[in-house]
Amino acid sequence: MFTGIIQAVGRVAAIERRGGDARLHIAGLPLADGKLGESIAVSGVCLTAVAFTPDGFVADVSAETLACTTLGDWTVGQAVNLERALAVGDRLGGHIVSGHVDGAGEVLSRRPDGRSERFTLRAPPALARYIAAKGSITVDGVSLTVNTVSGAEFGVNIVPHTLAHTSLDGLRAGGRVNLEVDLLARYLERLLLRADGGGVNLDLLAENGFLKQ
């Protein structure tokens, strides 16, 4: 699990294409205490460290991950947001993030808004129902608050500190980003769907004590 609070901005040092998948060499996060098999979020994608280098680590990326995220577009030198997995006792400064990207979104526009920058993005249609105003969303691994929602489009404000300490300052209209919607929203939807397809109705609420008989 992660929090969406970025610890370092690294870069893709090398890409080895291996049939349908790939091996990435990520630089910019020295891990003197790193352990093989530990999880590291790379621009929002949870990857497993299979080796360490003096200035980073190596991770394998499956064909599924390449197809469902922006990783398939990456080139050597690509700036990436890095976060190690949450340790017990750490402060939860962002929100609960799994590192399981739900899909790739598109940056529609960017404009100054005071000292911040206002971004408008478009999510894949299937993800739109999970995005709520004042809710949480992860964009390229960064925990952000949703300001506005209109269909599949949503807006976020990014403050100067976040722009300076993540890769988001490099985003422009037309760019693609990794999106992870609120974990609680996904599970809540699943729990509320009845096996018979009935969804939430008065009978279900009454059965579970939410309505007086």
> What is the 8-class DSSP label of residue 86?
P
The HSE-up count of residue 72 (CA atoms within 13 Å, CB side) is 12
- pLDDT number for residue 110: 98
As beta bridge partners, residue 9 has: 81
- pLDDT number for residue 203: 73
Question: What whole-number distance in Å separates Cα of residue 84 and Cα of residue 194?
Answer: 37
Instruction: Output phi, psi for 17, to 5 deg.
Output: -80, 130
Tell me the helix, strand and coil percentages in the chain, rounded to 5: 20, 40, 40
Q: 178 to each of 100, 123, 142, 208, how far by Cα in Å?
A: 10, 10, 10, 37
- pLDDT number for residue 200: 66
Element (H, E) at 207: helix 202-207
pLDDT in tens, the chain (213 residues): 999 999 999 999 999 998 889 999 999 998 989 999 999 999 999 999 999 999 999 999 999 999 999 999 999 999 999 999 998 888 888 898 999 999 999 999 999 999 999 999 999 999 999 999 999 999 999 999 999 999 999 999 999 999 999 999 999 999 999 999 988 887 777 777 655 666 666 677 777 777 765
- pLDDT number for residue 197: 60
Question: What whole-number distance in Å separates Cα of residue 71 and Cα of residue 178?
Answer: 9
Question: What whole-number distance in Å separates Cα of residue 87 and Cα of residue 85?
Answer: 6
State whether the Cα torsion 169-170-173-179 is positive or negative.
negative
Q: Which residues contact 67 (CB under 8 A, 6 or more apart)?
A: none
Question: What whole-number distance in Å separates Cα of residue 191 and Cα of residue 47?
Answer: 28
CATH number of 103-190: 2.40.30.20
Instruction: Report the residue count for the chain.
Output: 213
Beta strands in 146-187 (DSSP E): 148-150, 153-158, 176-181
Domain with CATH 2.40.30.20 in the chain: 8-84, 103-190
| Planar angle of CA 152, 134, 111, nearest 5 degrees | 65
Domain 8-84 -> CATH class: mainly beta
